[in-house]
Amino acid sequence: MENHPQENHCAEQLTQDSVDRHVAQWSKELAWMDPVKEAIYVRLAKLARHASQARRDALDSDGLRHWQYKVLLTLRRHGPPYTASPSELADRLGLTRGALSARLAPLEEAGLIGRTHESADRRRVLVRLTDAGYAAFEQHAAAEEADEVALLAALTAEEQRTLADLLRKLVVAAESGPDGHAPRRSRSAES
C-alpha cells in the first residue's frame, strides 16, 4: 500500500470546530466555494477576533485603554531612553498633533509619560516613558504574552514554527500586493 502524506494528514483524527460546521453548511449551498480557502479565511478571522478580545480583556484588567497602550508601546519601541518628539509620535500613531496632544494629557496626569523641554532648544518638547509607564507596559505585555503562549500550547514547537513560516508567506504576499509592489501601508499595521 502506498503512503500518501496528504492522505495521512487528512486521516488524522482532528477535533471538529465551528469552522468545520460553517464550511460543511455553506458547501451544500455554494457549489463554487473552495472549502479549504473558506476554512483558512474563517479560522484566520476567528483567531484575529480572539486575539483582539484577549488584548481588550488584558487592557481592561490593567486599567489601560487601547490608545493609551499604543502610546506606551510606541515609546517603548523607540528603545532607551524611551523618548520621542510629539511629531514623531503623531506620525507613528497616525494621529494629528492636536489629537496626540489630547491623548498625552491624561497619560501625563496618570504619571505614565512625562513631557520635557530640550536643554538646547526650549521650544522643542520630548515625550518620555516614565518608570510607571514602563511598568504599566511591562505588566500588560506580560499578560498578553501569557494569553498567547496559552493559545499556542495547542501546537508543538515544530507546528508553531511551521505555522509561523506559512503565515510569513501570506504576510509577504499581502504586503507586496497583487502587482508585486508594496501597497500603501496602513498606520495600524505595526501594532
Bridge partners for 128 per DSSP: 83, 114
What's residue 108's pLDDT?
Answer: 95
Q: pLDDT tens-digit profile of 107-117?
A: 999 999 999 87
In this prediction the pTM is 0.72
76/139 Cα distance (integer angstroms): 13
Q: Whose grid coordinates read 503512503?
A: 3
What's residue 121's pLDDT?
Answer: 67
Report in angstroms the alpha-carbon separations of 105 from 17, 132, 187: 45, 15, 22
CB distance 3 to 22 below 8 Å: no
